[in-house]
Amino acid sequence: MVVGDFAIDLDTVVIGAGPGGYVAAIHAAELGQKVTVIEREYVGGVCLNVGCIPSKALITAGHRLQEARDASAFGISKTDATIDFAKTQDWKQHRVVERLTGGVRMLFKKHKIDLIEGDAFLKDAHSLRVIQKDSAQTYTFKNLIIATGSRPVEIKGFKFEKRVLDSTGGLNLPAVPKKLVVIGGGYIGSELAGAYANLGAEVTILEGTPSILPNFDADLVKLVLDSFQKKGVKVITGAMAKNAENFDDHVTVTYEANGTTEKVDADYVMVTVGRRPNTNDMGLEQAGIKMAERGLIEVDQQGRTNQANIYAIGDIVAGAALAHKASYEGKVAAEAISGKPAAVDYRAMPAVCYTDPELATTGLSLTEAKDQGYQAKADKFPFAANGRAISLQATTGFVKLISDKNDGTLLGAQVAGSGASDLISELTLAVESGMNISDLALTIHPHPTLSEAIMDAADLAEGMPTNI
């Protein structure tokens, strides 16, 4: 190994090139900082390479296949539609993932951001070491943003090997499995279970808690459970996965449910029980950085650690592990370094699950609003009464608004159904801006659109429904 015998001085350094890191780097460069990014594996992070983006590509492929097979309501007959999964995977990798990750590299060049590919280890609060395949180099820095993200949790009895996969392995299967077991019914598990069911797999979900998707209200989750039932997805709750036994052509999963031990065979088992912050083995203790619970880094409202020149964002700090949260925090940290009075201060953090139907939530739920002392109520408008949803043959779902009974302030919202992932942005803006129900009711929405359901839900909340 060639070892650098002198330190190279840098200005702003970002460790990690995911949605938090690359956004922080670009924004810092736009603010006039000289930026260097250090990335050990994926430019674009887990999200663009083996997470958010490729999973949505497979979900889309599954939807297209099902649409082709089930268009009889429109007078279209194409029941013999098939899928060439190798071609699907090629499209996902070369036309989707590589296009986006290549775009990040181009943006780095545009903003004159230097990229160093290697493992970063902190020596102290002002210097770090980057280890590459055949060399190592020490760098000093004025400011540092740590954006190292998270990794899948591996559970006892399910070592990731052969036919036991994490979500990355689940996204890169060479063929659609005939049978798939998914351990964990959260966001990732439910999304990929639905995707592979649409692609033709026989799917079983093992969830340890009483319900899948515990972060969503029961009326939203019920729609997903109904959809899973129609697809033949078997959902077993209160199930504790014990171990997996690998064979040449299958894997056997042992689990306990309802006081009995059961076994299920599958081509693969995918473990999606959560993620762990990437904060170990990088020298945080040498830099004197204060840690919080569960391996997270303690930060203030600007993302600053107890070391004034070091910031941390994304999955390695408190809050939801969401790509858009990381991007938001990255912008705040970049502005804080430039001396601007930016701070992490939001009323609503939207979250989306790309199941069938899509689920989206923002702001407070009804229970959360009441727990915080609001005289809150919920009003729900069904897509079954929306003209655009009817024409799309997509009437499952609703828009639900959570508002204060006293002054009509919008406190939160949930959307289940077609386009939920897009509709939630308008509602997030409304919550963030402190708008009330009347503001939404009086906003002219184009006709016919799914977004009219927001206006109709607001009319309903005012006690003057027009279309129901």
User: Which tens digit of pLDDT belongs to each residue from 237-275?
Assistant: 999 999 999 999 999 999 999 999 999 999 999 999 999
Q: What residues in the chain have per-residue pLDDT under 70?
A: 1-5
CA distance 9 to 127: 9
* 98: number of Cβ within 10 Å: 14
* 121: number of Cβ within 10 Å: 18
- Both tokens of 230, joined, read 């129609």
Locate tokens 């090629």: which residue?
90
Q: Which domains does the chain have, with CATH numbers?
A: 2-151+276-337 (3.50.50.60), 164-273 (3.50.50.60), 351-461 (3.30.390.30)
Angle, helices 420-432/452-461, rounded to nearest 10 degrees: 50
Beta strands 135-146; 310-312: pairing state: parallel
Query: Radius of gyration over alpha carbons of the chain, in Å?
Result: 24
Burial label, 55 (beta-carbon count in 10 A; 0-12, 13-18, 19+)? buried
Q: What is the pLDDT of residue 5?
A: 60
Q: What is the pLDDT of residue 2?
A: 46
Q: Tell me, yes or no, if 27 is annotated catalytic.
A: no
Burial label, 420 (beta-carbon count in 10 A; 0-12, 13-18, 19+)? buried
In degrees and rounded to multiples of 5, residue 24 shows phi and psi of -60, -45
Q: Provide the whole-model pTM.
A: 0.95
Q: What is the pLDDT of residue 245?
A: 96
Dihedral sign for Cα 390, 391, 393, 397, please. negative
User: C-alpha angle with apex 242: 254 to 191, nearest 5 degrees?
Assistant: 80
Beta strands 410-416; 359-363: pairing state: antiparallel
Q: Which of 126, 250, 324, 447 is catalytic?
A: 447
CA distance 122 to 101: 26
**Nearest of 319, 414, 412 to residue 359 by alpha carbon:** 414
Beta strands 234-237; 202-207: pairing state: parallel
- Preceding omega of 341 cis (within 30 degrees of 0): no
